[in-house]
A and B are shown apart, each in its own frame.
Chain A
Amino acid sequence: MYQALSEFLLELSRNRILWAVCVIAAMAVTAVVLYFFWDLVGRGVALARPRGRSPANNRSRRGH
């Protein structure tokens, strides 16, 4: 698979303008995807963490 990917990239790099556009676009898309991925991971961690007793929690408990 790595060999096939390398050959594909070498083939693509022959067309300079297409190559430059693809390289920039690939990096920009990877950057945005990775940002949202880590954002989701962060939210998941925050949700999974046991909740402390915040003043809001205490108020709701007193209400019951």
Chain B
Amino acid sequence: MPWPALADVRLPITAPAGDTSVHFPIADATVSPLLLALLGMIVGTMTGFFGVGGGFLITGGLLVLGVPTIYAVGTGLLMVMGTAITSTLRHRRLGNVDIRLAVLIVCGTIPGVFAGERVNATLEHAGVAGPVVGGVYFVLLLSLGSLMVGNWIRQLRYRPGPRVGGGLPGWFRSVRIGPDRIRLPILAGARFSGNVNLRPAFPGAGIEEMSALVPMFAGFTIGFVAALLGAGGGFLLMPFLVYGLGIPPAIAIGTDLFQIIITGSLGAFLYSLSGNVDPMIAVIMFASASVGTQLGALATRFVNASRILGLFGVTVLNAGVAVGLGQLARLLGSGGLEQISQILLLGVSGAVAVTILILLAAAAVTQARRGRRLSALREARSSRRRVV
């Protein structure tokens, strides 16, 4: 069974069926479409704003709503793919996607996903997949969340953030792996010399020169870890692009989403082959998520980049705490603690999504006021001219 990560981390909790509940025969679950739409809206807003697929949120949310674990993971991956497609199209239009960088990352991601899936299957066979995956998830989310929240607090105190010229971004950009240029005689023709530059520029991401192998290795590692954990990998790639390569957050989000399309599609395809995906649940959630995605992507134009990273850090840190509580609940066999972890995961994420929408609304109001003030000034000037 591929991608069982979250299946082992959480136990299914059946939500009380209300009047609006509908039976979904493929997943054999009775869920309210309104609650599915609400969950989709939260996930969509987070996806558009942060550039993560939201796999950990969707799966956790579906489990809270009473969808069987294996269907929650499979349907979650299908949703991740859909939201990533919409968000990438939106970010591409805003000029936030560096296609060259994204394609190189994807070249590494695909073999990484298959390698991760094999390791996962081996761990599953040995009967240790649950604790290993849960532990890796907990450590990764907690350390990434702490790093991002720490950086955000430093920025709030007016201390410089990650430097592009030096530090980690400087090292990644200057590192030399193998030759800078290779000649492929097989490709040499009238229109192509056969020379391939292995240190290309990435103008969209603002990188003058970097080894093509750096994003490929990063893609492989992220694909491997994502397949091991059963997620899209956005929560890993986004921090790597921002802190590792020093790319502006908006460009990192757009480029990261392009990679999520590939990991999401591969995962969803593997799950569909096993018949563990309910497309009806996915479509209901996706329809509402598309609204959130548009609003989230629009919000990145108005909201300060450091706020994006700060809110993302809080979400990741919260997910880490929720996964840790889930693990503890499993060890102690406590259903109540498990429920608290699920509610924490969705509650804080919902609060972050609402905060994003409030920030967007505030920016829209400020812009409208500025526009009104400007037109009043122009009106006053033209009336003065008329008097003269």
Interface size grouping (class) on chain B: 20 to 34
Q: Any chain A CB within 8 A of the CB of B135?
A: no
Chain B residues with Cβ below 8 Å from A31 are 81-83, 85-86, 89, 286, 290
Q: 1/0 per residue B16-34: CB within 8 Å of A?
A: 0000001001100000000
With A27-B81, A38-B290, A58-B378 as contacts: A20 and B273 at CB distance below 8 Å: yes
Output the least CB separation between B7 and chain A (Å).
19
| Nearest-neighbor residue (CB-CB) of A7 within chain B | B25
Q: By the criterion CB–CB under 8 Å, are A35 and B272 in contact?
A: no
With A31-B286, A32-B89 as contacts: A23 and B294 at CB distance below 8 Å: no
Q: By the criterion CB–CB under 8 Å, are B86 and A35 in contact?
A: yes
Q: By the criterion CB–CB under 8 Å, are B85 and A6 in contact?
A: no
Output the least CB separation between A13 and chain B (Å).
6
Q: By the criterion CB–CB under 8 Å, are B269 and A20 in contact?
A: yes
Chain A residues with Cβ below 8 Å from B81 are 24, 27-28, 31
Chain A residues with Cβ below 8 Å from B195 are none
Output the least CB separation between A3 and chain B (Å).
9
A-B pairs under 8 A by CB, number: 85
Q: By the criterion CB–CB under 8 Å, are B378 and A23 in contact?
A: no
**Taking chain A's interface residues, is the majority helix, strand, or loop, or is none over half, making it mixed?**
helix
Q: By the criterion CB–CB under 8 Å, are B85 and A32 in contact?
A: yes
Q: Any chain A CB within 8 A of the CB of B359?
A: no
Q: Any chain A CB within 8 A of the CB of B268?
A: yes
Interface residues of B in 211-268 (CB under 8 A from A): 265, 268
Per the bound structure, the CA–CA distance linking A38 and B283 in Å amounts to 16
Q: Any chain A CB within 8 A of the CB of B167?
A: no
With A13-B26, A34-B286, A35-B90 as contacts: A24 and B294 at CB distance below 8 Å: no
Q: 1/0 per residue A5-28: CB within 8 Å of B?
A: 110011001001101100110111
Q: By the criterion CB–CB under 8 Å, are A28 and B85 in contact?
A: yes
Q: Any chain A CB within 8 A of the CB of B277?
A: yes
With A19-B275, A23-B277 as contacts: A52 and B375 at CB distance below 8 Å: yes
Give which listed residue, B272, B290, B371, B378, contacts A34 with CB less than 8 A.
Answer: B290
Output the least CB separation between A11 and chain B (Å).
11
**Taking chain B's interface residues, is the majority helix, strand, or loop, or is none over half, making it mixed?**
helix
Chain A residues with Cβ below 8 Å from B26 are 6, 9-10, 13
Q: By the criterion CB–CB under 8 Å, are B279 and A23 in contact?
A: yes
Q: By the criterion CB–CB under 8 Å, are A27 and B287 in contact?
A: no
Q: By the criterion CB–CB under 8 Å, are A35 and B273 in contact?
A: no
Chain B residues with Cβ below 8 Å from A32 are 85, 89
Q: By the criterion CB–CB under 8 Å, are B291 and A38 in contact?
A: yes
Interface residues of B in 52-84 (CB under 8 A from A): 78, 81-83
Per the bound structure, the CA–CA distance linking A28 and B265 in Å amounts to 9
Interface residues of B in 266-298 (CB under 8 A from A): 268-269, 272-275, 277, 279-280, 282-283, 286-287, 290-291, 294
Chain B residues with Cβ below 8 Å from A17 are 273
Output the least CB separation between B270 and chain A (Å).
8
Chain B residues with Cβ below 8 Å from A35 are 85-86, 89-90, 290
Q: By the criterion CB–CB under 8 Å, are B82 and A53 in contact?
A: no
Per the bound structure, the CA–CA distance linking A19 and B265 in Å amounts to 14
Chain B residues with Cβ below 8 Å from A13 are 26, 275
Output the least CB separation between B282 and chain A (Å).
6
- Identify 11 residue pairs between A and B in the complex whose beta-carbon atoms are under 8 Å apart, listed by A's number: A10-B25, A20-B273, A24-B265, A27-B81, A28-B85, A30-B82, A30-B283, A30-B287, A32-B89, A34-B287, A52-B371
Ranked 7 nearest A-B pairs via Cβ: A20-B272, A31-B85, A34-B290, A31-B82, A23-B272, A35-B89, A27-B82
Known: A16-B275, A24-B269. 18 other contacts (CB 8 A): A2-B22, A17-B273, A19-B272, A20-B269, A20-B272, A23-B272, A23-B277, A24-B272, A27-B85, A27-B268, A28-B81, A28-B82, A28-B85, A28-B265, A31-B85, A31-B286, A34-B286, A35-B90
